[in-house]
Amino acid sequence: MKILVCVSKTPDTTAKIAFSDNNTKFAQDGVQWIINPYDEWYALVRALELKEKDSSITLHLVTVGAADAEPIIRKALALGGDEAIRVNSDNHDSFYIASQIAEVAKQGAYDLVFTGKETIDYNGSSIGGLVAELLDLPYVALATKFDLNGTTATITREIEGGEEINEVQLPLVVSCQKGMAEARIPNMRGIMAARTKPLKVVEPVAVDNLTSIVGFELPPAKSGVKLLPADQAEELVRLLHDEAKAI
């Protein structure tokens, strides 16, 4: 069986966010980059657990990004996996990215494609569903548990007010979130091995963008806290209504 795990480069949550070129581009100077946590902690680690139980599984990683994404995918290789594929493009359109991943999945004839539920920079939650549609495969989103018995997957996912258990035949696409696995830290052996594992660079297939970014805006700065004496209930109601717009 062959598993493909999608990995994305995202800014560290402690990075200071700024924009350039009249707020049309993300300013990358001084930003610390990490593996998208949903991809690393849940999608990749669960795939590694499956591989550890079944040594016949082949595990590949894929990312869509420029050369500066290679340290990130090497870190992912340090956790495990047999090889990585980088599609040489810095495009941020979701359909474009999903199309590149789908093409890699088609060429590799993978039985299972794992993605994180979303990236922590764009929070689009769109890649998994788009990849499944492009591959014409079943898709289970927001998975919190994944078990495999032969070619049958039993998947638990969150729904409004509870959980849903799905039974699906491979091949399929799954987006993963908290609960799927426990985070791991690369050990020295894995870090050293990652340096020599194959990292194949492929050129992107021709795909038209469906969206483009025309501008970014930072959220408004938080105002100071207003403290009111306990006997000023009417003023509290006024502030909640007129300023906070909460009631």
Q: Return per-residue pLDDT of the chain as tens, 247 residues.
A: 999 999 999 999 888 888 888 998 888 888 899 999 999 999 999 999 999 999 999 999 999 999 999 999 999 999 988 999 999 999 989 999 999 999 999 999 999 999 999 999 989 999 999 999 999 999 999 999 999 999 999 999 999 999 999 999 999 999 999 999 988 887 777 778 888 899 999 999 999 999 988 899 888 887 778 888 989 899 989 988 888 888 8
Please state whether the peptide bond connecting residue 204 to the residue before it is cis, i.e. omega within 30 degrees of 0.
no
Q: How far apart are CA 48 and CA 120, in angstroms?
A: 22
Buried b or exposed e, range 79-90, using 16+ CB within 10 angstroms: bbbeebbbbebe
The superfamily CATH assigns to domain 2-219 is HUPs (3.40.50.620)
> What is residue 68's three-state secondary structure?
helix
pTM over 0.75: yes
